[in-house]
A and B are shown apart, each in its own frame.
Chain A
Amino acid sequence: MVETTTRSKGQQWVLSFPALAMFLGLLVVPLALTAILSFNAFDAMRGPLEEYTLSNYVEVFSDGYYYELFLRTALMSLAVTVVCILLGVPETIILSRMRPAWQGAFFVVILGPLLISVVVRTLGWSILLAREGFINNALSSLGLVDRPVQLMFSMTGVIIVLTHVMLPFVVISVWSTLQKLDAQVAHAARSLGAGPFTTFRRIILPQLLPGILSGAIIVFTLSASAFATPALIGGRRVKVVTTAIYDEFLSSLNWPLGAAVAVLLLIGIVLVVVGSNRMIERKFKQVFA
């Protein structure tokens, strides 16, 4: 094994200086300024004031509106995560059983949309989900519904579209664990008399669990931070944390309050990521080893 890293003489900081300077100046400083802004007082006539106060956080924590907002966002993200796993895991297993040529083609079809702007994907869904849209037309011509189902500006609609946006992430993370799966163990189970269902539940699923969980974390956090989809599909009827922050900054112009909500969203997401990574590492040490 050739040593591929070099003992440092300081060159590493010269090499990473441009990136580091960029990130300190354009990421750390603006985030710190936002955190400070969230402690600024606000006056409806004069805008943000130079005095410091906890009142923005007190308002968020004492007002039932914000409690509901965060709860709605969490439940929405949870629903998207569950649906994504229920659809994405079987699909990834099906993909893994295909011939390589088909596999490659369907990978492009299923993962390609990741690279297409989320506004474009959401626009496609708003055409499909509209009151006079294709889904309602199909449902009524099949005689399944008497009057159009309200999908636009509903939580159901937002969950459907976010599921579409997030599914590729589940496929990617389950696929990478599936690559490490030892097919011999499944074979052994089958030859010892286990049925396909038992083999899946007792042998394959436990091995896939780390991939499913890491996919779930990605889907949950990206759903909680999604903006364009809840804004365009949910509209004013289904408000989530991100759209509330947007309104606070660009309509109500109460920047300090909006900054407080943004800081809480960031803290929430960091806690979810760090917390669940800890849990996964503890629980699956033997799998990764």
Chain B
Amino acid sequence: MSNRSIGQNGPTALVFHTLFTAFIVAPLLVIILVSFSDKGYISMPFDGASLRWYQAMLEAPELMSAFWLSVWLGLGSATLATAVSVPAAIAIARYRFIGRDALTALLLSPLMVPHVVLGVAFLRFFSLMGWTGSFTALLLVHALIVVPYSLRLTLGAIIGLDRDAELAARSLGASRWISFRRILFPLILPGVVGGWVLAFIQSFDEVTMTVFIATPGTTTLPVALYHRVALLTDPVTTAVSTVMIVGTMAMMFILDRVVGLDKVLIGKK
């Protein structure tokens, strides 16, 4: 049954919808258009388009190194987050135990704790431990804050799964590990991969926490972009942003293919 039965969209609704969509799309569209301008200031490309700002971006070493740092950071932290979330998700989904709710709440808590507070906490922690400027330390805390995304999608895949195949394998003499590797893991793989991609995107985009702990050697792309935009809005920043928008759209396409975008965005349980 469709919810269309609660009514039809009249002309007012369609005008509202058009304005709403324009509001959502406008800032992104403006960035993409401005990035193709051939002027030295923020302007529309209609009276002269060029790729000079993409050229300028490729020739800016601080932006390129920030880009690659963000890529490696995203790959590493998403992988680490997935590696710890999959067994934790199995524990939460498959066992009843005291502390289960508390464990779930703890592992999802980075969603609630303001990232500014996390940034402050890691700044203090790193300076006490002597980890300031360490890529490994940055990777560890990025993994921590993206665990909730990986955990939620993995949990979603395990809950609602039929256990019969696994129980059959076990009763036929398969070990716990074999039944996980051959039965459970292939079944939850789409959820795990979806969680990994979402974790990568969240790590790649993170700015609020990272801006506190980034050092000249560990500046991520969003942090570099943030500092640049805070000084001036030049067309190079729009070229970088366009690359980030297109990259995110490519990831969204993958997510849609693997798990379905509605599951990721709306979180159907």
B and A form one assembly: yes
A residues adjacent to B (C-beta < 8 A):
2, 4-8, 11-13, 15-16, 18-20, 22-23, 26-27, 29-31, 33-34, 37, 87, 90-91, 93-100, 104, 106-128, 130, 134, 164, 167-168, 172, 175-176, 178-179, 181, 183, 186-187, 196, 204, 221, 224-228, 231-232, 242, 245-246, 249-250, 255, 258-259, 262-263, 265-266, 269-270, 273
Query: Measured between alpha carbons, how far is A60 from B144 in the docked complex, in Å?
Result: 30
Are B125 and A225 closer than 8 Å at their CB atoms?
no
In the complex, chain B residues whose CB is within 8 Å of the CB of A37: 124
Known: A6-B94, A98-B9. 9 other contacts (CB 8 A): A18-B87, A19-B84, A22-B140, A23-B144, A27-B106, A111-B265, A124-B31, A124-B241, A226-B208
- Interface centre among A118, A119, A134, A270, by most chain B C-beta atoms within 10 angstroms, is A119
Query: Measured between alpha carbons, how far is A13 from B109 in the docked complex, in Å?
Result: 19
Are A127 and B6 closer than 8 Å at their CB atoms?
no
Select one of A2, A29, A110, A266 contacting B117, CB under 8 A.
A266
Are A125 and B121 closer than 8 Å at their CB atoms?
no
In the complex, chain A residues whose CB is within 8 Å of the CB of B83: 18
Asked if B63 is an interface residue, CB under 8 A from chain A, the answer is no
Asked if B134 is an interface residue, CB under 8 A from chain A, the answer is no
Query: Measured between alpha carbons, how far is A130 from B37 in the docked complex, in Å?
Result: 17
Query: Measured between alpha carbons, how far is A194 from B238 in the docked complex, in Å?
Result: 52
Question: Can you list 9 pairs linking A and B with CB atoms under 8 Å apart?
Answer: A5-B93, A5-B94, A7-B96, A8-B95, A15-B87, A22-B140, A31-B113, A179-B3, A269-B112
B128-173 contacts to A (CB < 8 Å): 128, 140-141, 143-144, 147, 151, 159, 162-164
Secondary structure of the A contact surface, majority rule: helix
Minimum C-beta distance from B265 to chain A (A): 4
Select one of A31, A111, A187 contacting B5, CB under 8 A.
A187
Are A97 and B7 closer than 8 Å at their CB atoms?
yes
Asked if B42 is an interface residue, CB under 8 A from chain A, the answer is yes
Minimum C-beta distance from B150 to chain A (A): 10
B residues adjacent to A (C-beta < 8 A):
1-9, 13-14, 16-17, 20-21, 23-31, 34, 42, 83-85, 87-88, 90-97, 100, 103, 106-107, 109-110, 112-118, 120-125, 128, 140-141, 143-144, 147, 151, 159, 162-164, 201, 204-205, 207-208, 211-212, 222, 225-226, 229-230, 233, 237-238, 241, 244-245, 248-249, 251-252, 261-262, 265-268
Are B140 and A26 closer than 8 Å at their CB atoms?
yes
Query: Measured between alpha carbons, how far is A258 from B9 in the docked complex, in Å?
Result: 50
Are B6 and A114 closer than 8 Å at their CB atoms?
no
Assuming A4-B94, A27-B109, A232-B230, is B20 touching A249 (CB within 8 A)? no
Minimum C-beta distance from A242 to chain B (A): 4
Assuming A19-B87, A127-B34, is B95 touching A265 (CB within 8 A)? no
Are B6 and A123 closer than 8 Å at their CB atoms?
no
Assuming A16-B103, A23-B106, A127-B34, is B222 touching A117 (CB within 8 A)? yes
